[in-house]
Amino acid sequence: MEQTLLYPCVNAHRNFTLLDGLWNMQFDPRSEGIREGWQNGLPEPFSMPVPASFADIFTEKEKRDYCGDFWYETTFYLAEDDARDVLLRFGSVTHRAEVFVNGISAGSHEGGFTPFVLNITDLVRFGRRNRISVRVNNELNETSIPCGTTKVRSDGTKLARPYFDFFNYSGIQRSVHLMRIPEEAILDYDTKITLNGKDACISYNVLTSGGHTVTAEILDARGSLVSDCEGTSGELTVRDARLWEVRDAYLYTIVFRIVDENGNEADKYPAQLGIRTVEVKGGKILLNGRPVYLKGYGKHEDFEVIGRQFSWAVAKRDFELMKWTNANCFRTSHYPYAEEWYRMADEEGFLIIDEVPAVGMMRSLMNFADAGVGGKDTRFFTADTVKQLQENHRSQLEEMIVRDKNHPSVIAFSIFNEPETTYPEAREYFTPLFEYARSLDVQERPLTGALLVNSTPGKDTCAELCDFISLNRYYGWYILGGPELGDAEAAFRREMDDWKKICADRPIVFTEFGADTYAGEHKLPGVMWAQEYQNECYEMNFRVMDSYDFVQGELVWNFADFQTTEGIMRVNGNKKGIFTRNRQPKDAAFLLKKRWETK
């Protein structure tokens, strides 16, 4: 059967066992595991929680910074065969994985931020315990995203050298589900929404693994039937539809069923449905036909000890803090987040710019500085590795869109973050990726990508591919910071005047801007790294943005402090957070809260 990325559910036809917990783990620095038969049992394992990033759990530096092959294993019991397929679903394994079931290879996957599913029906032993073994590799290169390189040190050990400014957290970082679904199953579905006055038309298309009849129905929030239809494709009409709005989310339920020749239900898949439209028109971003101004954050999946593991408690805290500051949007910088983030955003009425992990497309171990200051050009897209990189980029783009396309919270897809886009080869690289993304999304969401400071009018080659332009700009920090803040404002305005000449019908959203600030640091007059200066920097940026009506969004960088690779310009991580890493406010949080009350 074909792979399905639908979120797991439990009903009369489907169930799952969550395999989260303590697994065995072992490092494999010489890549000898396959040769030595580790897929049949690890020789010297230690315990490791799954899901979790492994790095911050250890106290030894060599384990925290480990780069190369490493293994996980666990066992599970499976009852007697009940004529349903057995699927193994990994929420994410960073960055590449090969999975073995009872010593036999079940499949592999490249891409550390999207799920993959393996049909292991023919490999499991019913009525007995079964072993899952996973060989993982977290090395960075220029043929897969995110980009970087791997250094071999004098003692032969490897060190990840990212071209991006966040820590290379790795491991089985999201939940693992052992799923049972019918042999004839619902595999995927699309919805497209059209508003007709007070009514809504929901066109749908369902993919199944068989040929029996499919039915579709929509239930309101109280469970009452409001529309139904028969067929693998069709149209459902909701009269006097309650729309999904910003910070006012109303969710229907759409239910698909497979019905056999005897009228019996063979499979059922329910999902939340938010009725809303999104488009870019007349220089505005429109939600349900009305302009919406994006205000919020670039974020990271990052928290102490657990690294990039999803935590319901951390996510709930983040949403509460975003609501407290009157935000309405965030970008999944710089990779697709755990699916639970999107499900929560659906329920909270938050807007998401969903970003593929196309970051680090510049050969720089200080990418944050080079991208912020400009001037560096490594001709990244002229390398021999570009063809393979593009294939991996395309694959991860497809997995992100297929996974997230039915979330009402997702209003745009971001195809890149801060690549070199100032020469023709960059446009040749990205053009087919934009075209492919448009072919995958029946809702025709806007596409964008975040441009670094070198990508200015007259120099950039890729802004025209975007439905709205996303700019990462650090005037007042990397450019003309500290005592030159006034000069920074003047330089910022000069650039914006140039954008004004070409943005008559295309909005700009600022997807990064801000300044590092060490929590608790105060000084009058304000200086760089003090909280007073962070406020001054934001106030300057806001003055400029408010002067141009084609600016339709501001996503500050960053929601919270986060971990990065060690370096002389990073004091235990990036400190641009509006909140500390343990989610306490800096002074700038109160500035944003007041501004966004009426913005």
Are 194 and 277 spatial neighbours (Cβ–Cβ below 8 Å)? Answer: yes
Are 515 and 473 spatial neighbours (Cβ–Cβ below 8 Å)? Answer: no
Supply φ then ψ for residue 164, to 5 degrees.
-140, 160
What whole-number distance in Å separates Cα of residue 230 and Cα of residue 55?
50
Structure tokens at 338: 């755990």
Are 25 and 46 spatial neighbours (Cβ–Cβ below 8 Å)? Answer: yes
Supply φ then ψ for residue 225, to 5 degrees.
-70, 130
486 burial level (CB within 10 Å; 0-12, 13-18, 19+): exposed
What whole-number distance in Å separates Cα of residue 361 and Cα of residue 385?
12
Identified catalytic residue from 98, 142, 355, 418: 418
Cβ-based neighbours of 106, under 8 Å, separated by 6 or more: 88, 99, 100, 118, 120, 123
Q: Please state, in angstroms and as integers, the Cα–Cα distance from residue 508 to each residue in 211, 334, 505, following that order.
A: 46, 19, 10
Pairing between β-strand 294-298 and β-strand 551-557 as defined by DSSP bridges: parallel
Helices (runs of H) and strands (runs of E) counted in the chain:
10, 32
* Residue 512 appears among annotated catalytic residues: yes
Cβ-based neighbours of 122, under 8 Å, separated by 6 or more: none
What whole-number distance in Å separates Cα of residue 517 and Cα of residue 519?
6
Closest CA to 336 of 110, 562, 92, 114: 114
b/e per residue 223-250 (b: at least 16 CB within 10 A): eeebbebeebebebebeebbbbbbeebb
Are 97 and 171 spatial neighbours (Cβ–Cβ below 8 Å)? Answer: no
* Residue 418 appears among annotated catalytic residues: yes
DSSP 372-427: HH------GGGSTTHHHHHHHHHHHHHHHHHHHTT-TTEEEEEEEES---SSHHHH
Positive/negative CA dihedral, 475, 481, 482, 486 = negative
DSSP 38-54: GGG--SS-EEEEESS-S
Identified catalytic residue from 301, 348, 512, 554: 512
What stretch of H or E contains 541?
A: helix 531-545
What whole-number distance in Å separates Cα of residue 462 and Cα of residue 551?
19
Are 242 and 251 spatial neighbours (Cβ–Cβ below 8 Å)? Answer: no
What whole-number distance in Å separates Cα of residue 288 and Cα of residue 309?
34
Region for 246 from its dihedrals, namely left if φ exceeds 0, alpha if ψ lies in -120 to 50, beta otherwise? beta
Cα end-to-end distance, the chain, whole Å: 50
DSSP 49-92: EESS-SGGG-SSHHHHT--SEEEEEEEEEE-S--SEEEEEEES-
Structure tokens at 393: 């980029």
> Catalytic site residues?
418, 512
